């Protein structure tokens, strides 16, 4: 009995309806990759190639918040690699839990998915997976390009 999703105020009708839809639709059999989930939810992925940019459309109203958020996620990527190197399970679990809860709030569900996997890696003491996820996060952030779209009502 946990929380599978949340929305923050003020809630746009489209965001609420999408969140409800996501909660009641069946879960796919395999988890999508971070590049596949990068645009689910509030953002929309326009292009994701193995080495090319990852373009995500995000509501214009988040334009003041996104740069700071991405800066903090770059710091998190470094912290993940350091925690994995020092075999700090609790730190990895905590970082993963935080990321899991915040990525979708910014329309960046790839960060949420990486966070979910990192939290589990921390719980399992899987430091190789944590290192891979830290590199995946850094790669995602390096390739990410945000395109802002006008806010919806």
Q: Give pLDDT tens digits for 69-128.
A: 999 999 999 999 999 999 999 999 999 999 998 988 888 999 999 999 999 999 999 999
Domains defined along the chain, listed by start: 13-149 (1.20.120)
Buried b (16+ CB within 10 A) or exposed e, 31-63: eeebbebbbbbbbebeebeeeeebbbbbbeebe
What is the average per-residue pLDDT within 19-35? Answer: 51
DSSP annotation of 52: S
Does an H or E element contain 55, and which? strand 54-59
pLDDT of the residue at 6: 72
Please confirm whether the linkage preceding 10 is cis (ω < 30° from 0): yes
Q: How far apart are CA 144 and CA 153, in angstroms?
A: 26
Average per-residue pLDDT in the chain? Answer: 81
User: Is pLDDT at 47 greater than 60 in this prediction?
Assistant: no
């Amino acid at each position: 009995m946990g929380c599978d999703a949340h929305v923050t105020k003020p809630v746009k009708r489209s965001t609420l309806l999408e969140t409800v839809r996501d909660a009641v639709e069946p879960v796919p059999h395999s988890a999508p990759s971070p590049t596949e989930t990068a645009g689910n939810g509030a953002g929309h992925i326009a292009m994701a190639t193995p080495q090319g940019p990852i373009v995500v459309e995000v509501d214009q109203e988040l334009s003041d918040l996104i740069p700071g958020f991405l800066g903090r996620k770059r710091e998190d990527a470094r912290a993940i690699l350091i925690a994995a190197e020092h075999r700090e399970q609790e730190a990895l679990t905590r970082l993963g839990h935080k990321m899991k809860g915040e990525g979708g709030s910014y329309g960046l569900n790839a960060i949420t998915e990486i966070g979910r996997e990192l939290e589990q890696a921390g719980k399992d003491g899987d430091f190789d997976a944590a290192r891979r996820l830290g590199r995946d996060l850094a790669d995602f952030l390096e390739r990410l390009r945000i395109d802002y779209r006008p806010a919806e009502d």
